[in-house]
Amino acid sequence: MPSDTRLDVRKTYKLYIGGKFPRSESGRSYVVNDSRGRFLANAAAASRKDARDAVVAARKAFPGWSGATAYNRGQVLYRVAEVMEGRRDQFADEVVAGEGLTRARAGRSVDQAIDRLVWYAGWTDKIAQVVGATNPVAGPYFDFSIPEPTGVVAVLAPQQSSLLGLVSVVAPVVAGGNTAVVTSSRDRPLPAISFAEVLATSDVPGGVVNILTGSVGDTAPWLASHMDVNAIDLTGVAGDDEHATALEVAAVDNLKRVRRAPDAEPDWTLDPGLSRITSFLETKTVWHPIGV
């Protein structure tokens, strides 16, 4: 072997649960190919048990994350963007391989993902001023309404847009103070695991975001019916009405808030608006008498 070539050290892609990178407890993995069908990696195939472990981790992280100041959450999310920026080339490589984009387009997609994190980072301490209110009730009471996070949110990330789409569904959920269990794109999971590595090194407390790779059919039904999950975003089953309906029915067991699956995967380059934040917020109204 000539001395100027070197065998590269490949990465083992694993799940991200509670701030750690475990293999699937099932021991299963599946082959991830690039857009031309060439082998890229073996990814972990998350199981029902992995999904449940992720919910436990997300629930455990909820009091700390929802109780952190909005300023702090904003700084942490901005830190995620900073760390992503430093790994821009790696993400671009993965997007090129998975989505088959040109290098230039993949780079723009990564840039948009980073910018979107910055955008959501700035919303953490503003959303309450936009959607909250003081209410002029007809009586001697001070009455105000504030948004609060819904709790643990299951997020079925989109199947096509493996990084920009992923960031676009995860960032608003955690910006609002929720914790998340995310199922990645099945066929393009590598950016999701690299994103998990960014989260793990960006002051995001373990358990705030948990990422499961594999087939959405293996984990989503258990997340949809899980009694300790408060909401579910069905974006990842866009266009699959039968699957989406089954998940929506399962979600009724504990009246999860459901963000329904769109007919087709959205154009993630468009301005997202606030609905992905407000879908996972509750409104709390507090009354107190006014008197001397």
Partner 1 sequence: MAFEYAPAPESRAIVDLKSSYGLFIGGDFVDGSGHAFKSVSPATEEVLAEIAEATANDVDTAVAAARRAYTRTWSKTSGAERSKYLFRIARIIQERSRELAVLESLDNGKPIRESRDVDIPLVAAYFFYYAGWADKLEYALPHRRGATTTPRPLGVAGQIIPWNFPLLMLAWKIAPALAAGNTVVLKPAETTSLTALLFAEICQQADLPAGVVNIITGAGETGRALVGHPDVDKVAFTGSTEVGKAIGRTVAGTRKSVTLELGGKAANIVFDDAPIDQAVEGIVNGIFFNQGHVCCAGSRLLVQESVYDDVLARLKRRMATLRVGDPLDKNTDVGAINSSEQLARIRELSAVGEAEGAERWSPPCELPDRGFWFAPTIFTGVSQAHRIAREEIFGPVLSILTFRTPAEAVEKANNTPFGLSAGVWTDKGSRILWMANQLRAGVVWANTFNRFDPTSPFGGYKESGYGREGGRHGLEAYLAE
Place of tokens 């608003």: 172
Give the closest residue to 228 by CA, choosing from 174, 154, 147. 154
Amino acid at residue number 126: K
Classify 287 as helix, strand or coil.
strand
State yes or no: residue 173 binds partner 1 (CB under 8 A): no
Using the contact rule CB under 8 A, the part of the chain among 72-80, 85-93, 110-118, 272-280 near partner 1 is 272-280
- b/e sequence 269-287, b meaning 16+ C-beta within 10 Å: eeebeeebbebbbeeeeee
- In 3D, which of 100, 89, 110 has the Cα closest to residue 37? 100
What are the angstrom distances between the C-alpha of 8 and each of 11, 17, 52? 10, 27, 35
Candidate ranges 12-20, 109-117, 199-207, 249-257; the one touching partner 1 (CB under 8 A): 249-257
Contact between 136 and partner 1 (CB under 8 A)? yes
Check residue 137 for interaction with partner 1 (CB under 8 A).
yes
Only one of the segments 10-18, 82-90, 94-102, 282-290 lies at the binding site for partner 1 (rule: CB under 8 A); that segment is 282-290
CB 128 within 8 A of CB 70: yes
Closest to partner 1 by CB, 203 vs 241, is 241
- Reported in sequence order, the residue ranges of 150-280 that DSSP labels E, i.e. its strands, are 152-156, 179-183, 209-212, 231-233, 257-259
Q: Are 149 and 86 in contact (CB under 8 A)?
A: no
Binding to partner 1 in span 203-232, by CB under 8 A: 230
Give min distance, CB of 112 to partner 1, in A. 17
The answer to the question of residue 131 lying near partner 1 (CB under 8 A) is yes
- Least separation, in Å, of the C-beta of 17 and partner 1? 24
Interface residue with partner 1, options 93, 107, 141, 206 (CB under 8 A):
141
Does position 130 bind partner 1 by CB under 8 A? yes
Task: State the nearest-atom distance from the C-beta of 110 to partner 1, in Å.
Answer: 24
Q: Scanning the structure block, which residue is given the tokens 């701030």?
A: 19
Binding mask 90-129 for partner 1 (x = CB under 8 A): ----------------------------------------
Interface with partner 1 by CB under 8 A: which residues?
130-131, 133, 135-139, 141, 143, 145, 150, 230, 241, 244-245, 248-249, 251-255, 257, 260, 271, 273-275, 278, 282-289
